[in-house]
Amino acid sequence: MPSTYGTYKYRKVFPNSPKRAHYEQMLALSLKLKTERDQLIAQWSANHDVPIATAAAGISIADRNDGILTIQNYNSWAEYSNSHPITTEYTSDGKRYRSRIELMTAETLKDLGLEWKYEPLLSLNVPSRFAGDNTTVEFTPDFAVAVRELGRVFLIECLGMLSESSYANDAFDKLKIYSYNGIYPGRDLTLISGDKNYMPSMEAIAQSVRSTLGILCAESIRSSNEGAPPQSKESALTSAGSLTS
């Protein structure tokens, strides 16, 4: 039977125990996780004034209810809204994608446990300086990703032919329209770029997605804690330690 010492448990393991190797592995894993926890706490306290305990339990995050990228709009979007036929054979979980980079992005989103829709239809405003009148244009971004825990939605565009001049120009015009509609690269829009000479790895794609998620999380925490009294970093670290210990 395991014994306790203070708030911790320990187990006696004899040298000839058949489970000795298992318990040694578990101990090594426990120490590794504790080290990683301490590193994360230190990193959090160095970059945020909000205690981890407040971020985890004391905030109320409201769904984004302005603009286009809302959960309500996401729920109404249908997939495969692009009228151009898909002629490639890139498939995953029964879904077909137009390019290898899109397939890799879909696999990455699945590995990250995210919810997404492929090629939903968005109607965006076009400023007069682009088209001569304040008209609208319909876009079908490659992916729309819902982060229901934050009440947020972000888009992913896979730019797989940037070395071609006309493609790059069209992509830049598209980014200008996105920005005019309050959809900004890095916050609301993740760009996965490549061409015939370069294809990003799934880890590189995952890092880009994680970066966007990090920005959304920080923005949600900051907006949810506006008006809260400031706390010192020492107080934040104390609260963080009590939460994760």
pLDDT at 245: 36
CA dihedral 184, 76, 71, 159 (to 10 degrees): -30
Q: How many domains does one find in the chain?
A: 2
User: Is the pTM of the predicted complex or chain greater than 0.85?
Assistant: no
Residue at 198 is within a domain: yes
pLDDT at 33: 83
Residue at 64 is within a domain: no
Same domain, 179 and 111: yes
**Positions in the chain short of pLDDT 50:** 1-8, 227-245
Same domain, 79 and 24: no
Distance in angstroms (rounded) separating the CA atoms of residues 212 and 82: 25
pLDDT at 115: 96
pLDDT at 46: 81
